[in-house]
Structure 1
Amino acid sequence: MNTLHAELNRLYLCGAPGGTDPDKEAPGLVAPDGRVRALVLALARPADWNALSTVWQGVQTDLELPAPAIAVNGIDGYQLWFSLGEPVPAAQAQAFLEALRLRYLGRVAPQRVGTMPAVDVSAPGKIQHAPLVPTLQQGTGRWSAFVAPDLAAIFSEEPWLDVRPSPEAQATVLSRLACTQPAAFQAAMASITEKNVGNPEHHAVAGPAPIGKSLDPKRFLLDVMGDPSIALHLRMEAAKALLPYCEGNLDGKSGS
Protein backbone atom coordinates (compact mmCIF):
# COMPACT_ATOMS: atom_id res chain seq x y z
CA MET A 1 0.00 0.00 0.00
CA ASN A 2 1.48 3.35 -1.03
CA THR A 3 1.14 6.49 1.07
CA LEU A 4 -1.83 7.85 -0.88
CA HIS A 5 -3.77 4.59 -0.54
CA ALA A 6 -2.91 4.54 3.16
CA GLU A 7 -4.33 8.04 3.63
CA LEU A 8 -7.48 7.27 1.63
CA ASN A 9 -7.97 4.16 3.73
CA ARG A 10 -7.42 6.09 6.97
CA LEU A 11 -9.93 8.78 6.10
CA TYR A 12 -12.56 7.49 3.73
CA LEU A 13 -12.60 3.79 2.91
CA CYS A 14 -14.78 1.29 4.73
CA GLY A 15 -12.84 -1.70 6.04
CA ALA A 16 -9.21 -2.69 5.96
CA PRO A 17 -7.56 -4.06 2.83
CA GLY A 18 -8.17 -7.76 2.28
CA GLY A 19 -4.72 -8.94 3.22
CA THR A 20 -3.22 -11.42 0.79
CA ASP A 21 -6.53 -12.99 -0.26
CA PRO A 22 -6.91 -12.08 -3.97
CA ASP A 23 -10.62 -12.98 -3.92
CA LYS A 24 -11.50 -10.56 -1.13
CA GLU A 25 -13.04 -7.32 -2.34
CA ALA A 26 -10.94 -4.21 -1.82
CA PRO A 27 -12.33 -1.60 0.58
CA GLY A 28 -14.52 1.05 -1.03
CA LEU A 29 -16.46 4.16 -0.12
CA VAL A 30 -19.61 2.14 0.67
CA ALA A 31 -19.54 -0.81 3.07
CA PRO A 32 -21.52 -3.96 2.24
CA ASP A 33 -24.18 -2.89 4.76
CA GLY A 34 -24.59 0.50 3.05
CA ARG A 35 -22.70 2.54 5.62
CA VAL A 36 -20.15 5.19 4.70
CA ARG A 37 -17.26 7.13 6.19
CA ALA A 38 -16.86 9.65 3.35
CA LEU A 39 -19.39 12.47 2.96
CA VAL A 40 -19.00 14.67 -0.11
CA LEU A 41 -20.54 18.11 -0.63
CA ALA A 42 -19.99 19.61 -4.10
CA LEU A 43 -20.60 23.00 -5.67
CA ALA A 44 -20.34 23.39 -9.44
CA ARG A 45 -21.56 25.14 -12.57
CA PRO A 46 -19.65 27.34 -11.92
CA ALA A 47 -16.94 26.47 -9.44
CA ASP A 48 -17.28 29.01 -6.63
CA TRP A 49 -14.78 28.73 -3.83
CA ASN A 50 -16.03 31.91 -2.15
CA ALA A 51 -19.39 30.23 -1.56
CA LEU A 52 -18.10 26.77 -0.66
CA SER A 53 -15.45 28.19 1.64
CA THR A 54 -18.27 29.31 3.95
CA VAL A 55 -19.02 25.64 4.53
CA TRP A 56 -15.34 24.76 4.99
CA GLN A 57 -14.91 27.55 7.54
CA GLY A 58 -18.30 27.09 9.17
CA VAL A 59 -17.98 23.43 10.04
CA GLN A 60 -14.76 24.24 11.86
CA THR A 61 -15.80 27.41 13.68
CA ASP A 62 -19.52 26.76 14.24
CA LEU A 63 -19.61 22.97 14.59
CA GLU A 64 -16.05 22.39 15.88
CA LEU A 65 -15.39 19.64 13.33
CA PRO A 66 -12.06 18.82 11.69
CA ALA A 67 -11.48 20.50 8.34
CA PRO A 68 -12.75 18.50 5.37
CA ALA A 69 -10.49 17.88 2.40
CA ILE A 70 -10.90 20.25 -0.54
CA ALA A 71 -10.94 18.81 -4.05
CA VAL A 72 -11.45 20.02 -7.61
CA ASN A 73 -13.61 17.57 -9.54
CA GLY A 74 -11.78 17.73 -12.85
CA ILE A 75 -14.82 19.12 -14.66
CA ASP A 76 -16.68 22.11 -13.29
CA GLY A 77 -16.57 22.43 -9.53
CA TYR A 78 -15.24 21.94 -6.02
CA GLN A 79 -15.86 19.22 -3.46
CA LEU A 80 -15.52 19.00 0.31
CA TRP A 81 -14.68 15.49 1.56
CA PHE A 82 -15.69 14.88 5.19
CA SER A 83 -14.14 11.94 7.03
CA LEU A 84 -15.92 9.97 9.77
CA GLY A 85 -14.06 7.82 12.25
CA GLU A 86 -16.92 5.29 12.22
CA PRO A 87 -19.29 4.60 9.31
CA VAL A 88 -22.90 5.76 9.45
CA PRO A 89 -26.00 4.80 7.42
CA ALA A 90 -26.16 6.51 4.04
CA ALA A 91 -29.46 8.17 4.99
CA GLN A 92 -27.87 9.80 8.04
CA ALA A 93 -24.89 10.95 5.98
CA GLN A 94 -27.19 12.43 3.36
CA ALA A 95 -29.30 14.17 5.98
CA PHE A 96 -26.19 15.78 7.49
CA LEU A 97 -25.06 17.08 4.11
CA GLU A 98 -28.54 18.43 3.40
CA ALA A 99 -28.46 20.23 6.75
CA LEU A 100 -25.12 21.78 5.78
CA ARG A 101 -26.58 22.88 2.46
CA LEU A 102 -29.53 24.54 4.16
CA ARG A 103 -27.29 26.26 6.71
CA TYR A 104 -24.49 27.56 4.51
CA LEU A 105 -25.66 27.35 0.88
CA GLY A 106 -29.36 28.08 1.32
CA ARG A 107 -29.26 30.92 -1.22
CA VAL A 108 -27.43 28.86 -3.85
CA ALA A 109 -29.60 27.19 -6.50
CA PRO A 110 -30.07 23.57 -5.33
CA GLN A 111 -29.17 22.16 -8.75
CA ARG A 112 -25.64 23.53 -8.32
CA VAL A 113 -25.09 21.59 -5.09
CA GLY A 114 -24.34 17.86 -5.04
CA THR A 115 -24.23 15.48 -2.08
CA MET A 116 -22.84 11.98 -1.88
CA PRO A 117 -23.64 9.28 -0.84
CA ALA A 118 -27.00 9.17 -2.60
CA VAL A 119 -29.63 6.49 -2.96
CA ASP A 120 -30.24 5.27 -6.52
CA VAL A 121 -33.98 5.93 -6.87
CA SER A 122 -34.18 3.44 -9.75
CA ALA A 123 -32.72 0.71 -7.53
CA PRO A 124 -33.63 1.29 -3.85
CA GLY A 125 -30.92 -0.04 -1.59
CA LYS A 126 -28.15 0.75 -4.05
CA ILE A 127 -25.91 3.52 -2.78
CA GLN A 128 -24.11 5.80 -5.22
CA HIS A 129 -20.97 7.61 -4.20
CA ALA A 130 -18.55 10.09 -5.71
CA PRO A 131 -15.59 8.86 -7.76
CA LEU A 132 -12.56 8.56 -5.54
CA VAL A 133 -10.06 11.42 -5.89
CA PRO A 134 -7.75 11.68 -7.76
CA THR A 135 -9.23 10.29 -10.94
CA LEU A 136 -9.06 10.97 -14.67
CA GLN A 137 -12.32 12.38 -16.00
CA GLN A 138 -12.87 10.64 -19.31
CA GLY A 139 -15.18 13.36 -20.58
CA THR A 140 -12.61 16.12 -20.19
CA GLY A 141 -9.27 14.31 -20.16
CA ARG A 142 -8.44 16.22 -16.98
CA TRP A 143 -7.82 15.10 -13.40
CA SER A 144 -9.63 15.61 -10.14
CA ALA A 145 -7.33 16.24 -7.19
CA PHE A 146 -7.18 17.20 -3.55
CA VAL A 147 -5.82 20.72 -3.08
CA ALA A 148 -4.37 22.63 -0.15
CA PRO A 149 -6.67 25.25 1.43
CA ASP A 150 -4.37 28.14 0.55
CA LEU A 151 -4.44 27.12 -3.13
CA ALA A 152 -8.16 26.39 -3.47
CA ALA A 153 -9.17 29.80 -4.81
CA ILE A 154 -6.84 29.66 -7.81
CA PHE A 155 -8.87 26.80 -9.32
CA SER A 156 -12.10 28.79 -9.62
CA GLU A 157 -11.68 29.30 -13.37
CA GLU A 158 -10.19 25.87 -14.09
CA PRO A 159 -11.19 23.31 -11.41
CA TRP A 160 -8.92 20.57 -12.64
CA LEU A 161 -5.34 19.44 -13.20
CA ASP A 162 -4.11 18.86 -16.74
CA VAL A 163 -1.74 16.10 -15.63
CA ARG A 164 -1.99 13.33 -13.09
CA PRO A 165 -1.31 14.68 -9.60
CA SER A 166 1.63 13.26 -7.72
CA PRO A 167 0.45 10.52 -5.32
CA GLU A 168 2.99 11.73 -2.78
CA ALA A 169 1.68 15.30 -2.96
CA GLN A 170 -1.91 14.08 -2.63
CA ALA A 171 -0.95 12.01 0.40
CA THR A 172 0.69 15.04 1.98
CA VAL A 173 -2.51 17.09 1.62
CA LEU A 174 -4.57 14.31 3.23
CA SER A 175 -2.06 13.65 6.00
CA ARG A 176 -2.98 16.97 7.63
CA LEU A 177 -6.63 15.95 8.08
CA ALA A 178 -8.38 14.19 10.95
CA CYS A 179 -11.48 12.01 11.15
CA THR A 180 -14.64 13.21 12.89
CA GLN A 181 -15.35 10.94 15.83
CA PRO A 182 -18.89 9.62 16.48
CA ALA A 183 -19.72 11.87 19.44
CA ALA A 184 -18.56 14.97 17.56
CA PHE A 185 -20.59 14.00 14.50
CA GLN A 186 -23.78 13.48 16.51
CA ALA A 187 -23.24 16.77 18.35
CA ALA A 188 -22.70 18.60 15.05
CA MET A 189 -25.85 17.06 13.58
CA ALA A 190 -27.88 18.13 16.59
CA SER A 191 -26.42 21.64 16.53
CA ILE A 192 -26.91 22.34 12.85
CA THR A 193 -30.42 20.94 12.62
CA GLU A 194 -31.46 22.90 15.71
CA LYS A 195 -30.11 26.11 14.20
CA ASN A 196 -31.85 25.38 10.88
CA VAL A 197 -35.16 24.81 12.66
CA GLY A 198 -34.78 28.10 14.51
CA ASN A 199 -33.85 30.20 11.48
CA PRO A 200 -36.52 30.40 8.75
CA GLU A 201 -34.04 32.19 6.49
CA HIS A 202 -32.41 28.84 5.75
CA HIS A 203 -35.63 27.71 4.07
CA ALA A 204 -35.75 30.53 1.54
CA VAL A 205 -34.55 28.19 -1.22
CA ALA A 206 -36.62 25.10 -1.90
CA GLY A 207 -35.22 21.97 -0.31
CA PRO A 208 -36.00 19.19 2.14
CA ALA A 209 -37.10 20.19 5.60
CA PRO A 210 -34.63 20.04 8.50
CA ILE A 211 -34.18 16.74 10.24
CA GLY A 212 -34.91 15.98 13.91
CA LYS A 213 -32.61 17.26 16.59
CA SER A 214 -31.86 14.21 18.71
CA LEU A 215 -28.34 13.13 19.59
CA ASP A 216 -29.63 9.55 19.75
CA PRO A 217 -29.05 7.82 16.37
CA LYS A 218 -32.23 5.76 16.79
CA ARG A 219 -34.31 8.85 17.52
CA PHE A 220 -32.70 10.69 14.62
CA LEU A 221 -33.49 7.88 12.16
CA LEU A 222 -37.04 7.67 13.49
CA ASP A 223 -37.44 11.39 12.85
CA VAL A 224 -36.21 10.95 9.27
CA MET A 225 -38.49 7.97 8.66
CA GLY A 226 -41.55 9.74 10.06
CA ASP A 227 -41.12 13.13 8.36
CA PRO A 228 -43.38 13.27 5.25
CA SER A 229 -41.49 16.30 3.91
CA ILE A 230 -38.35 14.19 3.40
CA ALA A 231 -37.88 12.33 0.11
CA LEU A 232 -39.35 8.82 0.20
CA HIS A 233 -36.10 7.09 -0.74
CA LEU A 234 -34.33 8.74 2.22
CA ARG A 235 -37.11 7.62 4.55
CA MET A 236 -36.76 4.06 3.20
CA GLU A 237 -33.02 4.15 3.85
CA ALA A 238 -33.65 5.39 7.39
CA ALA A 239 -36.05 2.49 7.95
CA LYS A 240 -33.41 0.01 6.80
CA ALA A 241 -30.78 1.67 8.97
CA LEU A 242 -33.07 1.14 11.97
CA LEU A 243 -33.22 -2.63 11.51
CA PRO A 244 -30.13 -3.37 13.68
CA TYR A 245 -31.82 -1.54 16.56
CA CYS A 246 -35.04 -3.53 16.31
CA GLU A 247 -35.55 -6.14 19.03
CA GLY A 248 -39.28 -6.63 19.13
CA ASN A 249 -39.93 -2.94 19.52
CA LEU A 250 -38.12 0.37 19.08
CA ASP A 251 -38.00 2.98 21.82
CA GLY A 252 -41.10 1.39 23.34
CA LYS A 253 -43.05 1.57 20.07
CA SER A 254 -43.95 -1.17 17.66
CA GLY A 255 -42.09 -1.28 14.36
CA SER A 256 -45.29 -0.62 12.40
Structure 2
Amino acid sequence: MNRLQTELNRLYLPNDRQSEGQDSANAAHHLINADGQVRAMVVEITQPTGWDGVAALWQGVQNELDLPAPAIAVSGINAYQVWFSLSAPVSVTHAMDFLALLRLRYLGPIAPRYIRMMPTADAAAPQHALHASMVPALQTETGHWSAFVAPELASMFADEPWLDLPPNPDAQANLLSRLVSIRPADFRRAQEQLSLANVPSPQATLSTSTPTADEADKVPGKGPATAEVDTDPKRFLLWVMNDPAAELRLRIEAAKALLPYFEGVSHRCTGRPDPHHIPSPDLDSNEHKGSR
Protein backbone atom coordinates (compact mmCIF):
# COMPACT_ATOMS: atom_id res chain seq x y z
CA MET A 1 0.00 0.00 0.00
CA ASN A 2 1.46 3.37 -1.02
CA ARG A 3 1.24 6.61 1.00
CA LEU A 4 -1.66 7.95 -1.04
CA GLN A 5 -3.78 4.85 -0.47
CA THR A 6 -2.92 4.96 3.23
CA GLU A 7 -4.26 8.53 3.44
CA LEU A 8 -7.39 7.69 1.44
CA ASN A 9 -8.06 4.78 3.77
CA ARG A 10 -7.46 6.94 6.85
CA LEU A 11 -9.90 9.62 5.77
CA TYR A 12 -12.61 8.14 3.58
CA LEU A 13 -12.86 4.37 3.36
CA PRO A 14 -14.86 2.34 5.92
CA ASN A 15 -12.74 -0.22 7.75
CA ASP A 16 -14.31 -3.19 5.97
CA ARG A 17 -13.53 -1.70 2.54
CA GLN A 18 -9.94 -0.61 3.00
CA SER A 19 -8.29 -3.80 1.78
CA GLU A 20 -10.55 -3.85 -1.30
CA GLY A 21 -9.73 -0.24 -2.11
CA GLN A 22 -6.06 -1.07 -2.66
CA ASP A 23 -6.78 -2.71 -5.99
CA SER A 24 -9.53 -0.48 -7.36
CA ALA A 25 -9.47 2.88 -5.64
CA ASN A 26 -11.79 4.36 -8.25
CA ALA A 27 -14.70 2.08 -7.39
CA ALA A 28 -17.33 4.30 -5.78
CA HIS A 29 -18.97 1.44 -3.89
CA HIS A 30 -15.88 1.13 -1.72
CA LEU A 31 -16.98 4.31 0.04
CA ILE A 32 -20.10 2.53 1.37
CA ASN A 33 -19.65 -0.37 3.77
CA ALA A 34 -21.65 -3.58 3.98
CA ASP A 35 -24.05 -2.01 6.48
CA GLY A 36 -24.84 0.96 4.23
CA GLN A 37 -22.65 3.41 6.15
CA VAL A 38 -20.13 5.98 4.96
CA ARG A 39 -17.19 8.00 6.25
CA ALA A 40 -16.94 10.21 3.14
CA MET A 41 -19.43 12.91 2.18
CA VAL A 42 -18.93 14.82 -1.07
CA VAL A 43 -20.46 18.01 -2.45
CA GLU A 44 -19.83 18.60 -6.17
CA ILE A 45 -20.50 22.02 -7.71
CA THR A 46 -20.29 22.37 -11.47
CA GLN A 47 -19.34 25.33 -13.60
CA PRO A 48 -20.01 28.23 -13.86
CA THR A 49 -20.63 28.65 -10.12
CA GLY A 50 -18.17 26.02 -8.92
CA TRP A 51 -15.48 28.05 -7.21
CA ASP A 52 -17.78 30.62 -5.55
CA GLY A 53 -19.83 27.83 -4.01
CA VAL A 54 -16.78 25.87 -2.88
CA ALA A 55 -15.25 28.94 -1.24
CA ALA A 56 -18.48 29.72 0.66
CA LEU A 57 -18.88 26.12 1.81
CA TRP A 58 -15.21 25.51 2.68
CA GLN A 59 -14.93 28.69 4.74
CA GLY A 60 -18.38 28.40 6.31
CA VAL A 61 -17.92 24.95 7.82
CA GLN A 62 -14.71 26.11 9.46
CA ASN A 63 -15.71 29.61 10.57
CA GLU A 64 -19.31 28.96 11.62
CA LEU A 65 -19.38 25.26 12.48
CA ASP A 66 -15.81 24.97 13.79
CA LEU A 67 -15.25 21.79 11.76
CA PRO A 68 -11.92 20.64 10.32
CA ALA A 69 -11.10 21.85 6.82
CA PRO A 70 -12.43 19.46 4.17
CA ALA A 71 -10.43 18.51 1.10
CA ILE A 72 -10.93 20.34 -2.20
CA ALA A 73 -10.70 18.42 -5.48
CA VAL A 74 -11.20 19.07 -9.17
CA SER A 75 -13.40 16.46 -10.82
CA GLY A 76 -11.46 16.10 -14.06
CA ILE A 77 -14.63 17.01 -15.96
CA ASN A 78 -16.45 20.26 -15.11
CA ALA A 79 -16.71 20.62 -11.35
CA TYR A 80 -15.10 21.18 -7.99
CA GLN A 81 -15.64 18.73 -5.15
CA VAL A 82 -15.52 19.22 -1.38
CA TRP A 83 -14.66 16.01 0.50
CA PHE A 84 -15.70 15.67 4.17
CA SER A 85 -14.21 12.92 6.32
CA LEU A 86 -15.90 11.34 9.36
CA SER A 87 -13.90 9.50 12.00
CA ALA A 88 -16.86 7.16 12.59
CA PRO A 89 -19.24 5.98 9.84
CA VAL A 90 -22.86 7.12 9.67
CA SER A 91 -25.79 5.81 7.66
CA VAL A 92 -26.28 7.01 4.10
CA THR A 93 -29.53 8.68 5.18
CA HIS A 94 -27.77 10.53 8.00
CA ALA A 95 -25.06 11.71 5.61
CA MET A 96 -27.64 12.86 3.06
CA ASP A 97 -29.50 14.84 5.73
CA PHE A 98 -26.29 16.58 6.80
CA LEU A 99 -25.39 17.48 3.23
CA ALA A 100 -28.90 18.84 2.66
CA LEU A 101 -28.46 21.15 5.66
CA LEU A 102 -25.08 22.32 4.33
CA ARG A 103 -26.68 23.07 0.99
CA LEU A 104 -29.44 25.15 2.55
CA ARG A 105 -26.99 27.09 4.69
CA TYR A 106 -24.15 27.79 2.27
CA LEU A 107 -25.31 27.05 -1.28
CA GLY A 108 -28.79 28.59 -1.32
CA PRO A 109 -28.09 31.02 -4.19
CA ILE A 110 -26.87 28.20 -6.47
CA ALA A 111 -29.45 26.45 -8.65
CA PRO A 112 -29.95 22.77 -7.73
CA ARG A 113 -28.90 21.60 -11.19
CA TYR A 114 -25.34 22.73 -10.48
CA ILE A 115 -25.03 20.71 -7.24
CA ARG A 116 -24.53 17.00 -6.62
CA MET A 117 -24.38 15.60 -3.09
CA MET A 118 -22.99 12.13 -2.49
CA PRO A 119 -23.88 9.63 -1.19
CA THR A 120 -27.28 9.82 -2.80
CA ALA A 121 -30.17 7.46 -3.38
CA ASP A 122 -30.16 5.37 -6.55
CA ALA A 123 -33.42 6.12 -8.37
CA ALA A 124 -33.12 2.88 -10.34
CA ALA A 125 -32.59 0.81 -7.19
CA PRO A 126 -33.91 2.63 -4.09
CA GLN A 127 -32.45 0.00 -1.77
CA HIS A 128 -28.96 0.96 -2.91
CA ALA A 129 -26.99 4.22 -2.81
CA LEU A 130 -24.52 5.90 -5.11
CA HIS A 131 -21.29 7.61 -4.13
CA ALA A 132 -18.52 9.63 -5.73
CA SER A 133 -15.60 8.13 -7.60
CA MET A 134 -12.34 8.13 -5.72
CA VAL A 135 -9.78 10.85 -6.41
CA PRO A 136 -7.35 11.00 -8.15
CA ALA A 137 -8.47 9.17 -11.28
CA LEU A 138 -8.39 9.42 -15.06
CA GLN A 139 -11.74 10.51 -16.50
CA THR A 140 -12.16 8.54 -19.70
CA GLU A 141 -14.82 10.87 -21.10
CA THR A 142 -12.47 13.86 -21.08
CA GLY A 143 -8.99 12.39 -20.91
CA HIS A 144 -8.27 14.63 -17.90
CA TRP A 145 -7.48 13.73 -14.31
CA SER A 146 -9.32 14.42 -11.08
CA ALA A 147 -7.08 15.44 -8.20
CA PHE A 148 -7.00 16.97 -4.76
CA VAL A 149 -5.74 20.56 -4.85
CA ALA A 150 -4.30 22.89 -2.23
CA PRO A 151 -6.91 25.40 -0.97
CA GLU A 152 -4.65 28.36 -1.73
CA LEU A 153 -4.34 27.23 -5.36
CA ALA A 154 -7.88 25.93 -5.93
CA SER A 155 -9.24 29.14 -7.50
CA MET A 156 -6.77 28.73 -10.37
CA PHE A 157 -8.86 25.81 -11.67
CA ALA A 158 -12.12 27.76 -11.98
CA ASP A 159 -12.11 27.62 -15.79
CA GLU A 160 -10.48 24.21 -16.14
CA PRO A 161 -11.25 21.97 -13.13
CA TRP A 162 -8.88 19.21 -14.10
CA LEU A 163 -5.27 18.18 -14.54
CA ASP A 164 -3.89 17.32 -17.97
CA LEU A 165 -1.37 14.87 -16.48
CA PRO A 166 -1.68 12.37 -13.61
CA PRO A 167 -0.97 14.03 -10.25
CA ASN A 168 2.06 13.00 -8.25
CA PRO A 169 0.91 10.40 -5.67
CA ASP A 170 3.26 11.68 -2.98
CA ALA A 171 2.06 15.26 -3.50
CA GLN A 172 -1.55 14.06 -3.20
CA ALA A 173 -0.66 12.15 -0.03
CA ASN A 174 0.98 15.26 1.43
CA LEU A 175 -2.21 17.29 0.87
CA LEU A 176 -4.38 14.66 2.55
CA SER A 177 -1.96 14.15 5.45
CA ARG A 178 -2.80 17.64 6.75
CA LEU A 179 -6.50 16.83 7.10
CA VAL A 180 -8.33 15.42 10.11
CA SER A 181 -11.69 13.67 10.30
CA ILE A 182 -14.82 15.08 11.94
CA ARG A 183 -15.38 13.51 15.36
CA PRO A 184 -18.86 12.14 16.18
CA ALA A 185 -19.56 14.77 18.85
CA ASP A 186 -18.60 17.58 16.48
CA PHE A 187 -20.70 16.06 13.70
CA ARG A 188 -23.79 15.99 15.94
CA ARG A 189 -23.14 19.52 17.19
CA ALA A 190 -22.76 20.87 13.66
CA GLN A 191 -25.94 19.15 12.53
CA GLU A 192 -27.89 20.69 15.42
CA GLN A 193 -26.38 24.09 14.69
CA LEU A 194 -27.31 23.85 11.02
CA SER A 195 -30.84 22.76 11.85
CA LEU A 196 -31.33 25.85 14.01
CA ALA A 197 -29.69 28.14 11.46
CA ASN A 198 -32.03 26.98 8.70
CA VAL A 199 -35.23 27.70 10.68
CA PRO A 200 -36.77 31.21 10.56
CA SER A 201 -36.32 33.38 13.65
CA PRO A 202 -39.18 33.16 16.19
CA GLN A 203 -39.42 36.95 15.94
CA ALA A 204 -40.34 36.74 12.24
CA THR A 205 -43.87 38.01 11.68
CA LEU A 206 -46.36 36.97 9.02
CA SER A 207 -49.36 39.10 8.19
CA THR A 208 -50.92 36.37 6.03
CA SER A 209 -50.46 32.69 5.31
CA THR A 210 -50.30 33.29 1.57
CA PRO A 211 -47.42 35.00 -0.24
CA THR A 212 -47.80 38.63 -1.18
CA ALA A 213 -47.75 39.65 -4.82
CA ASP A 214 -44.09 40.59 -4.45
CA GLU A 215 -43.29 37.18 -2.94
CA ALA A 216 -45.29 35.34 -5.58
CA ASP A 217 -42.97 36.79 -8.21
CA LYS A 218 -40.10 35.03 -6.48
CA VAL A 219 -41.72 31.58 -6.21
CA PRO A 220 -40.51 29.12 -8.89
CA GLY A 221 -42.88 29.15 -11.82
CA LYS A 222 -44.16 32.62 -10.93
CA GLY A 223 -41.23 34.75 -12.03
CA PRO A 224 -37.48 35.23 -11.74
CA ALA A 225 -35.87 34.75 -8.35
CA THR A 226 -33.78 37.52 -6.83
CA ALA A 227 -31.15 37.76 -4.12
CA GLU A 228 -33.89 38.78 -1.68
CA VAL A 229 -35.18 35.21 -1.71
CA ASP A 230 -31.95 34.02 -0.14
CA THR A 231 -31.72 36.66 2.58
CA ASP A 232 -35.29 36.57 3.88
CA PRO A 233 -35.83 33.26 5.74
CA LYS A 234 -39.55 33.06 5.09
CA ARG A 235 -39.21 33.78 1.38
CA PHE A 236 -36.36 31.31 1.05
CA LEU A 237 -38.34 28.51 2.71
CA LEU A 238 -41.35 29.29 0.52
CA TRP A 239 -39.05 29.11 -2.49
CA VAL A 240 -37.72 25.69 -1.44
CA MET A 241 -41.20 24.37 -0.59
CA ASN A 242 -42.58 25.36 -4.01
CA ASP A 243 -39.55 24.42 -6.11
CA PRO A 244 -40.46 21.31 -8.16
CA ALA A 245 -36.76 20.76 -8.90
CA ALA A 246 -35.84 20.49 -5.21
CA GLU A 247 -35.68 17.10 -3.51
CA LEU A 248 -38.99 16.11 -1.93
CA ARG A 249 -37.29 15.69 1.45
CA LEU A 250 -36.08 19.31 1.38
CA ARG A 251 -39.53 20.59 0.38
CA ILE A 252 -41.10 18.70 3.27
CA GLU A 253 -38.55 20.09 5.74
CA ALA A 254 -39.22 23.63 4.47
CA ALA A 255 -42.96 23.13 4.89
CA LYS A 256 -42.45 21.81 8.44
CA ALA A 257 -40.31 24.83 9.31
CA LEU A 258 -43.01 27.20 8.04
CA LEU A 259 -45.94 25.37 9.63
CA PRO A 260 -45.77 26.94 13.13
CA TYR A 261 -45.94 30.43 11.66
CA PHE A 262 -48.89 29.64 9.45
CA GLU A 263 -50.63 28.00 12.42
CA GLY A 264 -50.10 31.20 14.38
CA VAL A 265 -51.69 33.18 11.56
CA SER A 266 -54.65 30.80 11.51
CA HIS A 267 -55.27 31.27 15.23
CA ARG A 268 -55.11 35.04 14.92
CA CYS A 269 -57.55 35.05 12.00
CA THR A 270 -60.10 32.78 13.70
CA GLY A 271 -59.85 34.40 17.13
CA ARG A 272 -59.09 31.06 18.80
CA PRO A 273 -56.20 31.00 21.29
CA ASP A 274 -52.92 29.63 19.97
CA PRO A 275 -51.80 26.76 22.25
CA HIS A 276 -48.19 27.30 21.14
CA HIS A 277 -48.16 31.02 21.91
CA ILE A 278 -45.89 32.15 24.73
CA PRO A 279 -46.88 35.61 26.02
CA SER A 280 -44.11 38.17 25.82
CA PRO A 281 -43.20 40.03 29.01
CA ASP A 282 -44.96 43.33 29.71
CA LEU A 283 -42.24 45.83 28.94
CA ASP A 284 -44.26 48.58 30.67
CA SER A 285 -44.28 46.79 34.02
CA ASN A 286 -42.20 48.24 36.85
CA GLU A 287 -39.69 45.40 36.84
CA HIS A 288 -38.71 46.16 33.21
CA LYS A 289 -38.67 49.93 33.33
CA GLY A 290 -35.26 50.05 34.89
CA SER A 291 -33.71 48.06 32.11
CA ARG A 292 -34.83 50.32 29.29
Report TM bin, short chain. Answer: 0.7 to 0.9
Which residue number corresponds to residue 9 of structure 1?
9
Matches within 5 A, 1:91-240: 91-198=93-200, 199-200=233-234, 202-203=236-237, 204-205=239-240, 206=243, 207-208=246-247, 229=252
Tell me how many residue pairs correspond in the alignment. Answer: 209
Which residue number corresponds to residue 76 of structure 1?
78
Q: Is the 8 A contact 1:103 1:202 kept in 2?
A: no
CA distance in 2, matches of 1:137, 1:210: 32
Q: Which runs of 5+ in 1 are unaligned?
A: 212-227, 231-256
Deviations 1:236-255 (A, max 9, x none): xxxxxxxxxxxxxxxxxxxx
CA shift, 1:193, in A, is: 1.2
Q: 1:122 to 1:92 in 2, by over 3 A?
A: same
Q: Which runs of 5+ in 2 are unaligned?
A: 201-232, 254-292
TM-score (norm. length: structure 1): 0.76
Deviations 1:199-229 (A, max 9, x none): 4355345335888xxxxxxxxxxxxxxxx82
CA distance in 2, matches of 1:54, 1:18: 35
- Work out the percentage of aligned pairs sharing the same amino acid: 48
Q: 1:180 to 1:73 in 2, by over 3 A?
A: same
Partner AA of 2:37 in structure 1: R
Larger RCO (CA under 8 A, 6+ residues apart): 1
CA distance in 2, matches of 1:111, 1:50: 15
TM-score (norm. length: structure 2): 0.67
Q: Which shows bigger deviation, 160-169 or 38-47? A: 38-47
Q: 1:18 to 1:209 in 2, by over 3 A?
A: closer
CA-atom RMSD, angstroms? Answer: 2.2
CA distance in 2, matches of 1:139, 1:179: 32
Partner AA of 2:198 in structure 1: N
Q: Is the 8 A contact 2:49 2:114 kept in 1?
A: no
Q: 1:128 to 1:210 in 2, by over 3 A?
A: closer
CA shift, 1:127, in A, is: 1.3
CA shift, 1:47, in A, is: 5.2
- SS of match in other structure, 1:178: coil
CA distance in 2, matches of 1:141, 1:201: 43
- SS of match in other structure, 1:143: strand
CA shift, 1:107, in A, is: 1.2
- SS of match in other structure, 2:35: coil
CA distance in 1, matches of 2:41, 2:65: 16
Which residue number corresponds to residue 55 of structure 1?
57
CA shift, 1:48, in A, is: 2.5
The structure whose Rg is larger is 2
